[in-house]
Structure 1
């Protein structure tokens, strides 16, 4: 399982608000059927392979352009762990939470 944390940031827009851009990008991710978690600073997503992951991020970035951004800055962090099966976003959180008890 590949997990990814990413953010797509519109640059040079007339307003400091990003909700229109974020909602367009998140709709693409939602429509993809991949598991994701929206956070206050970005989006986390799970994919079976890099091709699937990059395809969704590419479409999400295009959606931000379609809303009207003339330039976007995209930050992507990927954890491609192959030594453990089913290492989902939730499993990562559970592991740390167990250590805190």
Structure 2
């Protein structure tokens, strides 16, 4: 299982706000079954089979074009381990454990 961060950036929109386009890209994830994801302030983290997640990232990218945008930049960062299972919560838990009680 992989943990993938996807950031979709539409260019040439009428306003500097892009939340409308981010919402369209998230609709792609909301339609999927058995996909865990977490929206952050600068991207979306998706957990799942690498092939499936990369296909979803492509669909997210295309969904922004469907909103009339002429150019879209999508950044994809993949964390894929073969020695043990990865999860969004597991990665956070590992870091928090190392931070100890000083982390809120």
Q: Under a length normalisation based on structure 2, what TM-score does the superposition of the two structures give?
A: 0.90
Cα separation, 2, equivalents of 1:81 and 1:32: 23
* Corresponding residue for residue 4 of structure 1: 4
- Which aligned pairs between 1:1-101 and structure 2 lie closer than 5 A? 1-33=1-33, 34-48=35-49, 50-85=50-85, 87-101=86-100
Q: Distance in 2 between matches of 1:42 and 1:72?
A: 14
SS at match of 2:78: strand
5+ unaligned residues in a row in structure 2: which ranges? Answer: none
User: Contact 1:20 / 1:67 at 8 angstroms: preserved in 2?
Assistant: no
- Give the CA deviation at 1:39: 0.3
User: How many Å apart are 1:63 and its aligned residue?
Assistant: 0.9
Runs of 4+, deviation exceeding 3 Å: none
Runs (5+) with no aligned partner, structure 1: none
d(CA) in 1 for partners of 2:83, 2:14: 46
Number of residue pairs matched by the alignment: 99
